[in-house]
Amino acid sequence: MSNELEPKKTYARALDPIHIGAGAYRLGRVDNTIVRDPTTNIPKIPGTSIAGVVRAFAKIVKENDKEKEKLKDVDIEKVFGTEDNKGVLHFYDGQIIFFPVSSIQGTVWITTKDLLEYWFGEIKDENGEKIKIPDEIDDKSYVIKGIDTDKSLNLGWLLLEVKKVENGKEVVLPSEIDKWVKRIVVVSDKLFSHIVNDGLEVRTSVRMDPETGTAAEGALFTYEAIPRGTVFGFEIGVDNALAKQRDKNANVVDDTINAVSQYMKNLGIGGMGTRGFGRLEIIPDKSQNDNNTGGEANAKP
Q: Rounded distance, CA 272 to CA 56, Å?
A: 18
pLDDT band at 24, cuts 50/70/90? low
Question: By residue range, what is the domain housing residue 274?
Answer: 5-291
In this prediction, residue 296 carries a pLDDT of 38
Q: What is the pLDDT of residues 241-289, one digit of tens each?
A: 766 655 556 578 888 888 899 999 999 999 888 888 999 999 865 544 4
**Residue 229 covered by a domain:** yes
**Residue 301 covered by a domain:** no
Contact of 174 with 9, CB cutoff 8 Å: no
Residue 276 burial by Cβ neighbours in a 10 Å radius (0-12, 13-18, 19+): exposed
Tell me which residue of 252, 271, 274, 235 sits closest to 12, measured CA to CA.
Answer: 235
274: which residues sit within 8 A by CB, 6+ positions away?
none
Beta-bridge partners for 129: 173
**Residue 187 covered by a domain:** yes
**Residue 93 covered by a domain:** yes
**Residue 82 covered by a domain:** yes
Based on the structure, what is the number of domains in the chain? 1
pLDDT band at 15, cuts 50/70/90? very high
In this prediction, residue 276 carries a pLDDT of 87
Q: What is the pTM of this model?
A: 0.85
Q: Which of 85-94, 96-105, 155-164, 248-257 has the highest mean pLDDT?
A: 96-105
Q: What is the pLDDT of residues 201-229, one digit of tens each?
A: 998 888 787 888 777 777 788 889 999 99
Alpha helices in the chain (DSSP H): 47-64, 76-80, 113-120, 175-180, 189-198, 240-245, 252-266, 286-291
Q: Rounded distance, CA 87 to CA 293, Å?
A: 21
Contact of 10 with 262, CB cutoff 8 Å: no
Beta-bridge partners for 204: 222
Q: Give me the sheet containing 201-208, strands edge to edge.
A: 21-25, 32-34, 215-225, 201-208
Alpha helices in 103-215 (DSSP H): 113-120, 175-180, 189-198
